[in-house]
Structure 1
Amino acid sequence: MRPEITLILHNIRSTHNVGAIFRTAEGLGVKRIVISGYTPFPDLTIINQPDPRLPHLVEKITKQIHKTALGAEQMVPFMRYETLEYWLEENERTGNLPIIALEQAPDSISLPDFTAPKAFALLLGEEVDGISAEHLARCTATVEIPMFGNKESFNVSVACGMALYQMICG
């Protein structure tokens, strides 16, 4: 049985990464996406919420996301939170999904050795700085993709696809 996955995009800068993640999430059947911090987001009217941004910014950012999402931004339900803390508090009050961080950390579990729970939230963080220690402390587990080359990390959208596929298909 496929796990029920909520994907959290926190402080991701690139509209192209956000679009690629929406497209991957749609293809792999992710239940919903949570967007927080300064992560760019599509037009909120897609989800029947007023968009506080200036119309020309909404149009520009939505077009940039669409360039890689190719319509998936209109297919995958998403929510936007000003801060990750707002979602974390709501999660504790309502569903208390286990939160799995995708991050290189001293206590991380190698992704191939990790068994995903039946429902969880996968937290993705900043392209350069990753997930803060404060947010890692609130996670149930931290998983890491093994690296075999000389680079220190994968692009966040690529890492997201690799992690989701492994967690769904094992």
Structure 2
Amino acid sequence: MTPERFETICNVLSQRQPDLTVITDEVHKGRNLSAIVRTCDAVGIPEFHCVEPRKGYRAFRGTALGSHKWVDTVLHDNVASGIDKLKQKGFKIVAAHLSDTAVDFRDVDYTVPTALLMGTEKEGVSAEALALVDEEVTIPMMGMVESFNVSVACAIILTEVQRQRQSAGLYNHRRLPDDTYQTKLFQWCQPIVTKFCDERGLSYPPLDSEGEIINPAEWYRQIRETADRQQQD
């Protein structure tokens, strides 16, 4: 762990927006899903919600460029339950959808807790989901085609979201809860030890100010001694 790498990790985590997310309504193409996740990481979204496509969710690594390591994915069986869980957490649901009631995407306030809902590639947002959303937005089109690719549309809207939040100073201070921040800090700094601990149900050891485990040899000795006692019992 170089000092530069540790500083980057701390800076990125300090700009994460826990009250901002994206939920997809059965977007099924791996490239589109991964492109959306990549954009989520770029604008500071820590958690992405996906209504699991009928063919299942599969990350397309070529497009994601590793961003799945930095953005947690939460899968939902259906769009209604996904939206309901987000609303219970206080999120406003904004659907990207072309309709008579949709407004220009730039005319919405995204500085409040917001979940951007993106629909499937061919049919868009489902009627079931539209009945549950708070607002509908559209991207003005000047050409012959009626809509952007779903991942492109998501990126365009999230760019406006980021602009508004930057203007409001929401990236200027750490907004993740302390326990979440510390957990993510360890997981990002120590991925190998994270896997070791998670597989064994162990608590993460403390880190020093440079992102390294404090006295790793002593920590591992204690782990071995505990495992030996358990085997003897």
TM-score, normalised to structure 1, is 0.80
Cα shift at 1:115: 2.2
Question: What is the rounded CA distance, in whole Å, between the counterparts of 2:158 and 2:83 in structure 1?
Answer: 21
- Pick aligned residue for 1:132 from 126, 129, 145: 126
Question: What is the rounded CA distance, in whole Å, between the counterparts of 2:52 and 2:79 in structure 1?
Answer: 7
Question: What is the rounded CA distance, in whole Å, between the counterparts of 1:85 and 1:118 in structure 2?
Answer: 21
Matched, 1:155 2:170: no
Question: What is the rounded CA distance, in whole Å, between the counterparts of 2:84 and 2:112 in structure 1?
Answer: 21
Question: What is the rounded CA distance, in whole Å, between the counterparts of 1:135 and 1:118 in structure 2?
Answer: 20
In our comparison, the structure showing a higher alpha carbon Rg is: 2
Aligned partner of 2:44 in structure 1 is: 29
Aligned partner of 2:103 in structure 1 is: 109
Question: What is the rounded CA distance, in whole Å, between the counterparts of 2:37 and 2:113 in structure 1?
Answer: 19
What does the per-residue CA deviation read over 1:17-68, in whole Å, with 9 as the maximum and x for residues that have no partner?
Answer: 0111111110111131001131753xxxxxxxxxxxxxxxxxxx44xx1110
Cα shift at 1:2: 8.9
- Pick aligned residue for 1:66 from 56, 61, 70: 61
More helix by share: 2
- Which one-letter code corresponds to 1:135 in the other structure? A
Question: What is the rounded CA distance, in whole Å, between the counterparts of 1:75 and 1:31 in structure 2?
Answer: 7
- Which one-letter code corresponds to 1:30 in the other structure? I
What does the per-residue CA deviation read over 1:129-160, in whole Å, with 9 as the maximum and x for residues that have no partner?
Answer: 10122211211100100001110100000000
The runs of 4+ residues in structure 1 deviating greater than 6 Å are: none
Question: What is the rounded CA distance, in whole Å, between the counterparts of 1:117 and 1:169 in structure 2?
Answer: 10
- Pick aligned residue for 1:75 from 70, 84, 98: 70
CA-based RMSD of the aligned residues comes to 1.9
TM-score, normalised to structure 2, is 0.59
Higher relative contact order (CA 8 A, sep 6+): 1
Percent identity between the aligned chains?
A: 29
Aligned residues: 148
- Which one-letter code corresponds to 2:36 in the other structure? I
Question: What is the rounded CA distance, in whole Å, between the counterparts of 1:23 and 1:90 in structure 2?
Answer: 23
Question: Unaligned regions of 5+ residues in structure 1, if any?
Answer: 42-60
Preserved CA contact (<8 Å) 1:22 1:73? yes
